[in-house]
Copies of this chain bind each other. A is one copy, B any other.
Amino acid sequence: MTATGTGAATVSRVGTRVADLDTPAVLVELDRLEANLADTADRAKRVGVRLRPHAKTHKTAWIATEQLRHGAVGLTVAKLGEAEAFVEAGVTDILIAYPIVGEEKLARLRALAQRVRIITTLDDPVVADGLSRMARSLTTPLDVLVEVDSGLQRVGLAPGQESAALALAVSGLPGLRLRGLLTHAGHAYRARSPEEREQIAMGEAAALVQTAELLADHGIDASELSLGSTPTLASIEAVKAAYPAITEIRPGTYAFNDANLIALGVATEANCALSVLVTVVSRPAADRMVVDAGSKTLAADAGRAGGFGRVVNHPDHLIETLSEEHAVIRLPPDADWRIGDRLEVIPNHACPVPNLADTLLGVRHGQVEREIRVDARGRNR
């Protein structure tokens, strides 16, 4: 490592005051993170559902461990590479909520399933056949969930007959053990009102319960019913009261919260644990300034409330455009920012942000307490 080299990035920043950090820096307010983890774990326990957080939000072994310590039963991930990273870190129960396709991936899945408990998902007989072929020689069957589309229109067949027919077929395949059904109501992020959000949450549960009942008529026990996103979590009490058969929730973003969840009415600035510390680097006009983080730090996800993130304590500042390393902020008339001033931005969408960083800085009382390595960064295969 030379004097001008990557050394700057590898010197520990533990103990550094936030006021002295070089920018851009991705901060995690530890008090808020812990409150978010504890609140959701307590809530799941009270309501009577298992909590299996989606770890694609943080991609870090340390936060995963904290989630498990607070009572999560295991993790959810999207990609095999994420699962591998968390298994290396000692996690022993992982749901890969993604259709595994192709011989190379099946071999990797097999290696994981020989070490820890793995559950995976599918929505097609072709995927089921691949899994069955691979799993036949495992010493214990591979747990699978059939993915049902509760309205997102991404992966999954329609609830009811379509999904039930697939589940029925899967239940007869050697090597596999059909555990139940899974869905993700990601369309709740597009809800236009709290009522619509709650309606989507109810529909998410209904899709699973309705399909499971059809399966029960055929004598098939598909008793794990796994649903959830952070927006539908807001209605979990009502959902569980109406659909007591629901067994598991998989929120991800709740660990951090973000500007889109504020716009949806399910979070406030005060419980957003993730922010990006930035510096004003240009002030070329009275109504405009430029800060030193763009889409390569904040991600380019469009915001529900307009703009590309939320300036902490300044909801009237509009992040109007993002380039890769610049954010242009449109200012109200009285704004008095100067070059070198620092501010915090809450990203529109928290989940892509850790994937752009090597390390998150865990801060408490204005000081870095912990560097959090993003173990599964870039693990997209």
Contact = CB atoms under 8 A, between A and B. Distances in A.
A99 B4 contact: no
Contact of A126 (B5, B290, B338, B358): B338
Nearest to A357: B378
Contacts of A111: 3-4
A230 interface: no
A123 B126 CA distance: 59
A124 B84 CA distance: 48
21 contacts: A8-B84, A8-B381, A23-B381, A25-B381, A56-B324, A99-B282, A101-B279, A102-B340, A123-B284, A127-B339, A153-B288, A155-B284, A155-B326, A156-B284, A157-B284, A295-B299, A300-B352, A302-B302, A355-B356, A356-B378, A358-B378
A151 interface: no
A301 interface: yes
A119 interface: no
Top 9 A-B residue pairs of the complex, sorted by shortest distance between their CB atoms? A4-B111, A78-B325, A155-B282, A126-B339, A99-B281, A22-B104, A300-B300, A101-B281, A3-B111
Nearest to A325: B78
Contacts of A302: 300, 302
Contacts of A357: 378
A296 B355 contact: yes
Interface string A356-374: 1110000000000000000
A358 B23 CA distance: 23
Interface string A99-118: 10110110010011001000
A79 interface: yes
Most buried by B among A4, A85, A380: A4
B153 A328 contact: yes
A357 B355 CA distance: 10
B9 A381 contact: yes
A216 to B, nearest CB: 24
Nearest to A59: B296
A99 B81 CA distance: 38
A154 interface: yes
A351 interface: yes
Contacts of A186: 323
Interface in A1-48: 2-6, 8-9, 22-25
A101 B328 contact: no
Contacts of A300: 299-302, 352
Given A127-B339, A380-B325, A4 B154 contact: no
A22 B378 contact: no
Contacts of A355: 296, 324, 356
A247 interface: no
Given A296-B352, A328-B154, A22 B358 contact: no
Nearest to A359: B378
A98 interface: yes
Contacts of A126: 338-340
Contacts of A104: 8, 22
A60 interface: no
A21 to B, nearest CB: 9
A240 interface: no
